[in-house]
Each structure stands twice: as C-alpha cells, then as structure tokens.
Amino acid sequence: MAATLANGAPGPSLNQFRHYIYGFMLQALVYGINVVLFLMCIWVLGIHIFKALHCHRFHKLHLFQNYVLLLFVIGMFAFSSLILGHQGIIAGNAWAGFLEGHGGNTTDFLSKLFQDWFSLQTACNVVFRLINWGTVGIILWRCTIYWKVQSIFPSEVMALPYFVFASCVVTGLLSVIQESSPRSLSSAVRNRNWELISWSISTALYYLLSLLVVIRLVYHRRVLKKQVGDDKVAQFASYLTIFNESGALVLVFATIRLIVLARSPDLLYLFQTPTAQIQVTLSLILVQRVTVGKAWSGKIIDCILHQDQKQPEETHKHEEVSTMGFNPNTELSSTQNDYASERTNKEHDLTVELRQVMGDKV
C-alpha cells in the first residue's frame, strides 16, 4: 500500500512524478517571460512614481494608483517565484535521491519526499489561489472600465461578475481548508470536491469576463472607426488588444486544467504550475500595457473623440483623468492636467522626461 501525505491523500506515483517534472520544465520557460515583463513594469512604474514625487501634477493624481499597481506586480511575481522554487526543490531532491539510490519502493520514496515538504506545498496551494484571484481581479477591473465608458447600465452588467468572483473566493477557501485540514470540516462539506467546484466557477468567470470585454471592445472599435479613424482603432482597439484584454491567453489553460481535474487527475501535476505562471504572465501584460499607455482608461474615449475638436484652452486645462491606467507619456496627455509639462502633440520618451526632472543630477 502506498504511503499517504499528512492530509490523508496518497503520494504521487512514478508516472505522476514524470508529469510533475514536465510541468516544472514548462513553467520554467514561462517564468523567464515573467521575469522580463516584471522588469518592464517595475521600470515604467518607478518612473511614474518618481515623477509624482517631483511635483508633476498629473502623476501626483495617480500616485496612489501606481503604488497599488506596483504592489500588485511585486506580489504576483513573488508568488510565481515561490511556486517555481518549491517545485525546483522537490525536483532537485528527487533527482539526488535517484542518483544516490534511495532503496525500497519508488512510490514510498516519492511520498516521503513530498511529505517532508508538505507545509510548503500547502503554502503553494494557497498561493495558487491567490494568483487566480489576482488574475481574475485585474481582468474584472479592466472589464469594469470598459463598461463604465458610454454605457447605460454598467452596474447591472457588472453585478453578475462580482457575485461569481465572490463565489470563487469562498469555494477557493473551502478547497484550501479541505486540502490542509479536512478534519475541520463536517462530513457533508468534506466529501465534496471543492477544488473542482472552485476551478469550475473560476473558468466560467474567465469566459464571462472575456465575453463582456470582447463585446465592449468591438463596440468601442466601431465608435472609434466611425468618429476618429483607423489610426486610433489600431492603437486602442486592435485585435491584439482584444486578445490581451479579454484574457484569452488564460482561457486555454484554464479549460485544460478543468478537464484534467474532472477526467484525468494524474495529469494535474503537468498543468497545475504552468497554469499559475500563465496567469501571472497575463496579469503582468495587462499592467505593462496600462503603464505604457497602450490600454484604456475611464476617460480615454472622451479624450480621443474630443481631441480634434476646437475647444477653449481652459476646458482642456482643467480636465482630469481619475482612472488608473491613463499614461501621461502619450500624445493624449496634452489634454490632461499636467501643468509642469509642455503642451505638445508629440510623443516624448520617459528617459528624456526623467532627465528634465532631475536636471544635472542624471
């Protein structure tokens, strides 16, 4: 009889451990992409925050929001690093054990190996839920922005996604409790597969948010094409934008993991950690697009549609954008409330502005 882990679950078989190693290799590849995206986000957010601390009025308006984005990026990248590190430790110890000749049954050896790191595995299970909630949260935020602009009933539309998100959090917490300390739950609750229930709700929420985002972006694409022209469509409502903002990248892995949970639990070791890394990738892509001005903000439609209209200078001067994500380093920022910068329609480089702020110190 195979050994069991601390929560009573059986240890992994040799075939499952092979999938575990393949999953580690796959997530390591995705993690390399996350490192690059993380550095890009930190660089641009650092410049935004630096400019806000040096009396740039527009950046001061978004200082708190940029702090939130910075903490979000650091947290998501730290979570992905923890998952990669844990799986690397298990893989390294197993490789060393096989080389040294562990003796005895292979399944018992793997069960003991996983048992020794059971507390860290439990922490990683919690981290996996946090990554999922963070990814859903940022897509939910982007979807809220799209439905706030030129929408008759944004609150009614977004009520269902928020309710499903709350259900996702509750079932995820039950799943964590079931894995870490199942005896603390009643028998009726303990006998349910909360992992499958939680991930089914998460996958359904991904599809719902993707559908809502696509609907609004297609609508805004038509508005921009009709009233402004194809140049703004390509910049803010291209097909690549729809793909990124709708979270289509996560949909594939979320669906595969749902099928694996329901039909082939042995393959869960292959898709668990790569799915988490893909979720981090999508989150960092969305933040990176926001910080460099390629993503939409709450008033970007109005700024674009009124950019070519002749309005008094005071009207532009007192217009403020209160929604996180409007990048003051694009040409649209000429209509914003940045008294310290020159009003031009040309794009300007972040490094040039940084030197202007620091003067001779850079």
Per-domain boundaries in the chain: 14-361
Residues contacting residue 286 through CB under 8 Å, at least 6 positions apart: 138, 139, 142, 244, 245, 295
pLDDT at res. 256: 92
Task: Report, as ranges of residue numbers, the positions in the chain whose pLDDT lies below 50.
Answer: 1-4, 6-7, 308-351, 353-354, 357-362
pLDDT at res. 354: 45
pLDDT in tens, 2-43: 444 544 555 566 777 777 788 888 999 999 999 999 999 999
pLDDT in tens, 129-160: 999 999 999 999 988 888 876 666 667 788 89
